[in-house]
Amino acid sequence: MKVGIIGVGAMGCLFGAFLSPLAEVTLLGHWPEQLAALARDGLTLVGPDGRATRRALAATHTPSSIPPVDLALILVKSHQTNRAALLAQQILKPDGLALTLQNGLGNLEKLTAVLTPQNVALGVTAQGATMLEPGQIRHAGHGPTHLAFTVQTRERVMAAAALFNQAGLQTDLVENVDSLVWGKLSINTGINPLTALLGVRNGFLAENEAAKRVMMTAARETAVVAQTIGIALPYPDAGKRALEVAQATAANRSSMLQDVLRGAPTEIEAICGAVVRNGRRTNIPTPINEKLLKLVKALEENDQRLMIEDLPTHFNL
């Protein structure tokens, strides 16, 4: 199988490292330092156990240099999805499949607008990766990946799942991924913005009582919105699940914190912003998510940290 991975950040490199021994994989991105490091030294992958291995990865910034691919794996930030759709259009075979494993809501719709529904699939992954420096990532831990299929995409999604499983990336198929997408969204709303605002690793949110309350409230707020639009999350208490994830990934820097540390735009609009917009549409108040949205946007503009005491923590959900 020929695979094009759009995105040369931590997640793009992680999937590239796992898939490249089994498929013809090329990464496509526009980060000069990363492309130079991959071309010069390959990728250094630090495993959860601390052991480092080196993998050769083909990477380019030129779509025309990539042979037509069967699978375009979309692993860019949500604000880059429109551009990723155009890149996928250039490198996909006519019957190829674009598969998004991105955070947040709205990515599938953006891809479908360019590529049509029969060429697009949606997935959710609990795999985690942290960029250490150009050419070096840490695999933050294994987690399952779920891919959704339709009648039109079933065979191609099954082929992608088989490749992932063969590569050691546990992958399952589902007919409706909405529950998983909103489940991951609820965790992201609890963990990502707080770690970015406070400049802390995930474990701090589980240890600090004030941060824990905000995290769990944000996650539960998201769950209420999901329930209102008819989506049942894959666990009974979103707040407790966010706490469990923060504890299990205590040493990790969230993707939003990584964005803030390198001065890059965050995915806050596709995470808390999506909750706020859906809450307004259904007349459900989302005060915590709205506050987190405003604070992260202010952080992007002013590069300032806040105190936990600046956040409201008591709402009736």
Over residues 172-201, the pLDDT tens digits come to 999 888 998 999 999 999 999 999 999 999
Rounded Cα gap, residues 205 and 298, in angstroms: 21
Let me know if 184 is a catalytic residue.
yes
Q: What share of the chain is helix, strand, coil (3-state, %, to 5)?
A: 50, 20, 30
Residues 6+ apart with CB under 8 A from 262: none
Q: Inform me whether the pLDDT recorded for 315 exceeds 60.
A: no
Domain 2-174: assigned CATH number? 3.40.50.720
* Amino acid, single-letter form, for residue 71: L
Rounded Cα gap, residues 251 and 249, in angstroms: 6
pLDDT number for residue 200: 95
Three-state DSSP state, 231: coil
- Residue 307's pLDDT band, with cuts at 50, 70 and 90, is very low
Give the C-alpha distances (Å, rounded to integers) separating 209 from 256, 269, 296: 21, 26, 21
Q: Looking at domain 178-310, does it have CATH number 1.20.1560.10?
A: no
* Amino acid, single-letter form, for residue 141: G
How many other CB atoms are found less than 10 A from the CB of residue 42? Answer: 16
Give the C-alpha distances (Å, rounded to integers) separating 106 from 85, 111, 258: 13, 9, 22
pLDDT number for residue 316: 36
Rounded Cα gap, residues 157 and 119, in angstroms: 10
Give me the chain's average pLDDT, please: 92
Q: Inform me whether the pLDDT recorded for 303 exceeds 80.
A: no
Helix pair 209-228, 287-302: axis angle to 10 deg: 120
Q: How far is CA 249 from the centre of its chain?
A: 15
Q: Which of 110, 184, 212, 291 is catalytic?
A: 184
pLDDT in tens, 30-67: 999 999 999 999 999 999 888 999 999 999 999 999 99
Rounded Cα gap, residues 163 and 161, in angstroms: 5
**Residue 60 near residue 27 (C-beta atoms within 8 A):** yes
Q: How far is CA 299 from the centre of its chain?
A: 20
Closest CA to 4 of 51, 40, 58, 42: 58
pTM: 0.87
The residues spanned by each domain of the chain are 2-174, 178-310
Residues 6+ apart with CB under 8 A from 150: 117, 118, 121
